[in-house]
Structure 1
């Protein structure tokens, strides 16, 4: 058991560093579960915050083939672990696993965790444990089963909140310390995108003759992005006040789905030059869209499962891996149309004699490719590394960084591909041709 506990604890550290978006009042049903550790909730507490846990019913039994003679409920229970103690617990479990005669490591009986309640102390009618937090930190509510081969069934309700003003009877705040600014942040971001959408619509109407079908798709992307952020603001505000999203999470998922699909669709369509360079898509480009769009559907469905089940689900790790795999495939797939367009433009520059036009197109597509790579790399990798080292009090900084990067990406794309009368894809000045020819020769091996 020591080895399995060490592995699970190591993964728990990763989960603890990953940090959920926000905590809510949650009711979780565990059925015939033999896992040594189950992570229920994570929350950033201020001084005076409360961690409440209610067990409405509990039962246990031996798994078929277990070597135990019976189940000891005193070795099964809930603990509260601070972020500072997770590395110590992991080190202790690894040490116990490496020592053949040292026995197994049990978090429940260690001095690194704050005990909440053991199953032996739960009467038939259920029990509730409420702890007041005197040492501010980010804490995790963890169930520990120190008996290999014992299964547990229980109905658990967790409620984590801070108290505004630090007074015992003050208003409850169900957002962790590090996420309390989110409602205001999301509101501002939503307003910014609605203004962005209004400017875009005004630009397309003012230059109606130059507007293409892609501009309508880009406008729809802005609309769903703005609606998603408005729902995110309402969602976090309701969670902050009541502990539950009251259905706003459903609207958030719906608008987030359309935003995700449209974002990757816009990248693919711009990368192929659709509606700018040509009014049609080649077969291989259609295939990319037919891959990306269903994958985005799958990704958003998986995101709902991850968000609604939480880390208590047995397959939560698997769903996370599926989400990461699908996201990586989508990110890689959108690069192919851009690369194909760049190669096609380079080949055309050798035969059609329009050096200046091809140079401009190549420069624009290369810049677009670099920005797409930078945007996806930053929002998928850099932000995750940043979150892992960020103090729990400033988790909102990650959301600000992601939204700032997204806004910068949107501004770049919409500015470079806005409707203009002399389309940079098509318009070429006579004085540009000679200098462009030499530049294309120099650029032959640049990409």
Structure 2
């Protein structure tokens, strides 16, 4: 076994990353795996929690004495308890995590009977908390024990009145209603936008129909996610709704980033074309969004037990950061172009209005990206497992506010380039442009 001073750090990293996985009925194939720790799913149990664990086609290589197989098995552990277990390993009080009295022992391989190739067990978890299901293999000397097995794990809570199973974690059980509520809001928002487009049909540009498509896709994405979570809540499986969810999530993600780029360039309402550098941004963002969505599917459908799960997680985070940075450049280019135009075309008031609008949009895009990528993650990390739904609500409210701001600021309006501007207003705008500092990132 690796040094107790290096392995605990790896254990901690894996367990923290595992907390990002969602629990449901999970089928996992482990093949010739000698990892000392394999995290599965995290789940928030109530006082009526249950864990069903079914193992089949178990093969162990090389052979170890049955008395040693007590160091191989499954356990449940909270994040706080895990920190104490790490300390026990560091202090060499124990040599295997299964020896700690701080973990909940589910099953160890010394209890295998008969042909030793399968086991079915049900574990009652009556201590309400958030636990991670982990497989430990402490047989690493003289050579690592390689384990192959098919694992079916199901974690759920029993309803106190009806006794029905709830396969959603205690902090996520109300998510189907939350997603459906936001679907209704976006449905109403789409109806309102259609009314605005009809009323202002003489001043509607192509970008406004694109904005409508983004809102509709967002609503459909929320509807599919509500149904996805609802089926998982009742049955432990998505029954195909996850396919629709991933499809609409993929389209929504691509179109949202494309919309930000198009608005940033002023396409259709300021100019009817895209410059080469702006096209290059789209050519970068769209393929990266494809990669990001593939990574998201792999992350959600495999879980942290997969050996390349951490790699896919890093790919997703990297691609997401690159996309978020790339969409800011067209907005900055538009701001600089407006400043240059203000000095040459003699329309200081009009350009000052546009410049202010694009600066506001730039700041709002940065705030939206920061909130949904950093603040929401921090909220999910520090919030009690019972209230994990609050991070979802926060993210959806931020997204709704961003959509509403974008629609309001770039709504169809009559823009007459020859309207009469008071001389005093023009002079004041010109002076304001002169006094402003150069806009920088």
Supply the RMSD in Å over aligned alpha carbons. Answer: 1.9
Q: Is the 8 A contact 1:8 1:37 kept in 2?
A: no
Partner of 1:115: 105
Residue 134 of structure 1: CA displacement?
1.7
Whether 1:158 and 2:153 are equivalent positions in the alignment is yes
Looking at structure 1, the residues matched to 104 and 205 of structure 2 have their Cα atoms a distance apart, in angstroms, of 62
* Corresponding residue for residue 99 of structure 1: none
Question: Aligned with 1:178: secondary structure?
Answer: coil
In 1, the alpha carbon distance for the partners of 2:215 and 2:272 equals: 23
Match status 1:262 vs 2:255: yes
Tell me if the contact between 1:44 and 1:138 (Cα under 8 Å) persists in the aligned partners.
Answer: yes
- Asked whether 1:75 is paired with 2:71, we answer yes
Q: Does 1:57 align with 2:50?
A: no
Counterpart secondary structure, 2:149: strand
**2:342 and 2:134 mapped to 1: Cα distance?**
63
> Which residue of structure 2 aligns with residue 40 of structure 1?
40
Aligned equivalent of 1:8: 10
> Does 1:84 find its partner at 2:80?
yes
Contact in 2 for aligned 1:273/1:341 (Cα 8 Å): yes
- Partners in 1 of 2:374 and 2:295 — Cα distance? 19
Stretch of structure 1 that moved more, 121-130 or 153-162: 121-130
CA distance, structure 2, for counterparts of residue 25 and residue 191 of structure 1: 29
Q: Is the counterpart of residue 315 in structure 1 residue 317 in structure 2?
A: no
Trace 1:408-427 onto structure 2 (pairs within 5 A). 408-422=401-415, 426=417
1:7-57, Cα deviation, whole Å (9 max, x unpaired): 2222134225x433x321011000011111011111001101101111112
| Pair 71,442 (structure 1): closer, same or farther in 2 beyond 3 Å | farther
Are the aligned partners of 1:5 and 1:37 in contact in 2 as well (CA < 8 Å)? Answer: no
Please tell me whether residue 126 in structure 1 is matched to residue 118 in structure 2.
Answer: yes
User: Counterpart in 1 of 2:129?
Assistant: 137
**Superposed counterparts of 1:220-259, under 5 Å:** 220-259=213-252
Give CA deviations for 1:292-320 in whole Å, capped at 9, x if unaligned. Answer: 00100110011011111011100000000
Partner of 2:386: 393
Q: Is the 8 A contact 1:25 1:159 kept in 2?
A: yes
| Count of aligned pairs | 431
How far the C-alpha of 1:71 sits from its partner, in A, is: 10
Q: Does 2:425 correspond to 1:430?
A: no
CA apart distance, 1:207: 1.1
- TM-score, normalised with respect to structure 2: 0.94
Cα 1:357/1:172, change in 2 over 3 Å: same
The question of whether the paired residues in 2 share the 8 Å contact of 1:55 and 1:122 is answered with no
CA distance in 2, matches of 1:208, 1:427: 21
Shift of 1:70: 11
- Compared with structure 1, are the counterparts of its residues 48 and 211 closer, same or farther at alpha carbon in structure 2 (3 Å cutoff)? same
After superposition, residues 267-286 of structure 1 pair within 5 angstroms as 267-286=260-279
Aligned to 2:297: 304
CA contact (8 A) 2:221 2:245 kept: yes
CA offsets per residue over residues 47-90 of structure 1, 9 Å max, x none?
Answer: 01101111112111149xxxx99994222110111233122122
Give ranges in structure 2 of 5+ residues lacking alignment: none
Residue 15 of structure 2 contacts residue 132 of structure 2 at CA under 8 Å; is this kept in 1?
no
Q: Deviation of residue 428 (structure 1)? A: 5.6
Moved more, 143-152 or 392-401: 143-152
| Aligned mates of 2:294, 2:260 — CA distance in 1 | 21
Q: Structure 1 residues 146-155 or 234-243, which shifts more?
A: 146-155
Q: In the alignment, is the contact (CA less than 8 A) between 1:39 and 1:142 conserved in 2?
A: yes
Give the structure-1-normalised TM-score: 0.93
Q: What secondary structure, in the 3-state scheme, does the structure 1 residue paired with 2:231 have?
A: helix
